[in-house]
Chains A and B, each alone.
Chain A
Amino acid sequence: MTTKNHSVADIITRNRVWRSIFRQGYPADDENRARAIMNSWFLHIHPVKVKLHSLKLTYTWGLGVISFVLFLILVVTGAWLMFFYVPSVQSAYTDIQNLDTAVTFGALMRSLHRWSAHLMVVVVFLHLCRVFFTGGYKRPREFNWVIGVLLWVVTMLLSFTGYLLPWDQLSYWAITVSTNIVGAFPLIGEALRQLLLGAAEAGPPALVRFYALHIAVLPVVMTILIGIHFWRIRKDGGLSSPSEASENEYGDR
């Protein structure tokens, strides 16, 4: 860091403005690479060093990271869709039609949101399978697995609540079929169904409730759960690997 050389990287990184933001130099040596991770709000969830084993493609298949990327794509495209969509039975369907035909990039953004949502349900489940089949749930990661199962459920609920919003035949009958299943539960079934729909049948109140769940309640729950999930990965010593194996039945270290 003390040697004087006037590469472009040096000119960009050796001034007060850059240093006030990033605090460290260009990450070309290990000290600056470590600082680049620790000093950044975005990167500090990473450890400074990772096990080589964690980087093996055939171990994780990148499925957890891809799940997160899909979630980010969904948040961005979803916020954008909100500019053009009003959750009322009068306008919902025409808003979507306008997105598809009149709004610049509307069809692309809606398709991105839709396909990312489907893909996320698939990828999160594959990630669950990867963790299961590699034994990644074992101590000390038991609780992160439990959080994971909740993430899987919330992923499906987010997808499900979004499904109603276009208010077309596909949405309407899918929600009718699904909520009828709820209605058939003993004792609480019918009450639960009406709580979800806000009425005896899917109609205006159902659309508003599903919308609130879809754009506010469930994304917040998801964000908190993902936060805990990532934080736990750090606290649990990074990813599982065969080097943690012990003969001790209960895994006491």
Chain B
Amino acid sequence: MSGDTTNGLIGDRVTRTEDAEFVTGQAEYTDDIATSNAAHAAVLRSQHAHAKVHDIDTSAAEELDGVIAVYTAEDMEEAETSAPRKIPSMSTDYIQVEPELFRPVIASDRVHYQGEPLAIALAEDRYTANDAVDRIEVDYERLESVTDPEAAIEDDAPTLFEDYPNNIAYDWEFGDKDEVDEAFEDAEYVASASVDEQRLIPDPLEPRATVADYDSSSNELSIQMSTQTPHSDRHAIAGILRHPENKIHVQVPRVGGGFGAKIHNYDVESLVPWCARELERPVRWQATRSEIHQTSSHGRGLNLEGEAAFDEDGKLLGVRVDGLADLGGYVSSHVHMLTTVLCIEVINSQYELPKLYSRIRGALTNATCLDSYRGVHEVAAITFIERLMHESAKEIGMDPAELRRRNQIPADAFPYETVTGTVYDSGNYQQALEKTLDVLEYDELRERQEELREDGRYLGIGLSAYTHVSGVGPADVCKEYGIFKTHWESGRITVHQSGTVTAYCGTMDFGMGHQTSYAQIVADKLGIPIEDVEIIEGDTRHLNDGVGTHASRSLVVGGSALAESADDVIEKGRSIVAHQLEAPEEDIEFEDGEFWVKGAPERSMTIQEVGSQAHRAWDVPGEPGLEATTYYLPEQMAITSGVHAAVVEVDPDTGEVEFERYLSVDDAGNRINPQIVEGQLHGGIAQGISQALYEDVVYDDNGNMVTSTLQDYAMPKSFHVPEVETVELSTPAPDNPLGAKGVGETGPIAGNAAVLNAVVDALEPLGFDGSEVDTPLTPEKIWKGVNDQD
């Protein structure tokens, strides 16, 4: 970008300004931080998935040269500083989570999954810390374990918590069952589908890491960590460690990915500052890849099965759905919301659905805790309804595109309140579907599919029409959902005396390009060169309040906070200009970085001059300085939507799936930086494809994780992902000042179903049963599905 291009930055494909440091290896991540005199931490993790712990003997570890200390839960109870509490999960009006089910930061007498922390060793170097861990002796009494949620709720299953004999942590219902059953009685057609969602590992290239230091004279805990939510971490750690929140400072270096796994409050992230406080010296910890696989929250793991009822025209009458979530060993901070209300809020996707009944249960299992992963449980919802539409079309004998067309919410119906009470703000679903079919040359493609089948070649076309909630609000909805901190965001803009600008936002970039997109907004609004804008995130001292980056919210909410702060800065600037040029405020115009008196353009001041005057403050009407802070709270959700289509060819002899095409047609409202939006789509779609075809967390019968390394866990590589074609559509979001809709999570939400539908479509003539697909659809499962039919 050249320095003089100012106006019109919003909407430009500005090349990401942050990338140089990443591609040259200059970026500083948490483990790159230099510390002197730091103790290195290593964690003893339970080797068993389910066991009683009778004794932990740390004496041999403590004797090792270079070991500073070893702490167990018992040691922490007896220590000087208060022992850590459990990690809380927020109860809501609809789901009560008893403290018994909270995840402890360190286990004492019982472990519920393999990898649960039992002790932390601190040593002068990392190798010694790990050697110390190897010398700790644990007296376990192994208990029978269960990792399959269906098996966990059987009567004869081992029990994780005495008060939950069937391992059911919650049983949540929505809608009137009788009413929905009636709709099914009147139906002309009924079809069913099930989504048996495997667990996935959100696997950021940078594993979790923390460096903590404690200053006893000020009682200050300084924490540097790899996180998506520094302010929430500060609050959580304050609670867990019983430390004053205003004495905790969280600072975030560059973050190498998060995908939703760096939102939750984790055990070691509290143990490390606890040790720093206890030892009064810096403590550092860097997780290994296997630690991440075993102990960072897993995603997906929600099974949904159900039916749809249609009238004779193929119009939806009702949907019934039964869900079972595989929670793991405890109830992690957000999982109960994500697998219930936040799942079904989009379960009707783009369709007019008059009636819905759903029941979702959460099963405790001897596995890693489940929580958010990019797309959260909207993935299950959209996969379910889109698979169901595909299966229903077959049942009705109608083309799947036509069935969708007949049920889409009309473009003039917005705002539209869905059967779940979600308010869809805007959209044009017909346009997205027709555009998709157009680009695909759908009718010709169907003809080609027929021809190829005659040659024994199996082409499949999969559609996935989605909606996605971004920018969750308003406050009463957040309250109803039980979101413990309403999804506002704060943004501050400071114009310095020299005219350069620093903008602060409470979100946290971990790869998405905030530095560029936010700078575009601020520079465009203020009419200044983009390189004059510095963006700062991830420091609780720079900006006291924030919510963080997740739920496709940063641009929509954080970007809006900055946009409104920019407006406020301009208003304050206007008052200064009016005062200094002795004209009424309403006569002061502003455009392209310049204020002038209406009708007298020679009487003008640039925003840089105003900044200078505001700081000099020899002659300003109000307070000195030129700065504004906004806490932006959405009044409405920004509903992103679109249609994805996958065209694949499947080889029934090898079960191999080859992509011919992947098309992503998305309405993300106004795109601040279309290139960054497309980048988000590409990455998300890779994860959707991977859920459909590759990735899978596997436990053996004893609850040992078999996929604890990337040798066994199929994270997608570039060659697994086809070229993605994107088409931009836009109905601007009416509520936020940018008209933007979040796009971060749409790829996996739409992608999984598009691919599954394409594979099922390809195999239809071979008798493959599409109503119950077991994902990932590996070549072996496809081959067996085609060849082992009973």
Q: Do the two shown chains form a genuine complex with each other?
A: no
Q: Write the residues of chain A forming the contact surface with B, with a CB cutoff of 8 angstroms.
A: none
Q: Write the residues of chain B forming the contact surface with A, with a CB cutoff of 8 angstroms.
A: none
